[in-house]
Structure 1
Amino acid sequence: MNTFTVEETNLLSIYKTDDRWEMLADMSAALPFMDGEMRAFTERTMKNLDALTEAEFAALCLEPAEDV
């Protein structure tokens, strides 16, 4: 089950790794360099990512959407 929007999936694909905690740490490290709207979006995405189980994370398809 994919609980992420296309935009969230694209964001997660930037930080793609096999380790959910590493991904969260990398995203957290980037937060100080983001503006308000992007920072809020990233924080919401991180909250959803943190709520996943390891099995749910392993099943995620983190490929960016292609340009239309």
Structure 2
Amino acid sequence: MSRFTVEETNLMCIYNVGSRTDLLSELSAMQKHLQSDETELLDLTKSVIDKLTDMNDTEFESISDELIGDFELIE
């Protein structure tokens, strides 16, 4: 997933709902709630949206498994 930075990947993990178009929709909706002084998050979100827009669904599906954490159940 070298196309995305660690920060971008983290943001995608938070808002990923399964598909590229749904992720784009979630990020766009979230971006509208940011304040003008949240420039770092605004820039990060724009960067992710731009990169996702440049991808197709097949490319996204090839990286989507990496967006889901591999959590172990601790008993």
5+ residue gaps, structure 2: 70-75
Q: Is the 1:20–1:57 Cα contact (8 Å) retained in structure 2?
A: yes
CA deviation profile, 1:29-67 (whole Å, cap 9, x unmatched): 011222222111101111001111211100111146xxx
Partner of 1:16: 16
State the 1:18 CA deviation.
1.9
Q: Which amino acid aligns with 1:42?
A: T
Q: Which amino acid aligns with 1:57?
A: F
Partner of 2:27: 27
After TM superposition, the runs of 4+ consecutive aligned structure 1 residues lying more than 4 A away are none
Aligned length: 64
TM-score by length of structure 2 reads 0.74
Q: Confirm whether residue 44 of structure 1 aligns to residue 20 of structure 2.
A: no
RMSD of aligned C-alpha atoms? 1.6
- Structure with higher Rg: it is 2
State the 1:17 CA deviation.
2.1
Q: Confirm whether residue 62 of structure 1 aligns to residue 67 of structure 2.
A: yes
Percent identity over the alignment is 33
Say which structure, 1 or 2, has more relative contact order (CA 8 Å, 6+ apart).
1
Q: Distance in 2 between matches of 1:37 and 1:48?
A: 17
Q: Distance in 2 between matches of 1:50 and 1:2?
A: 16
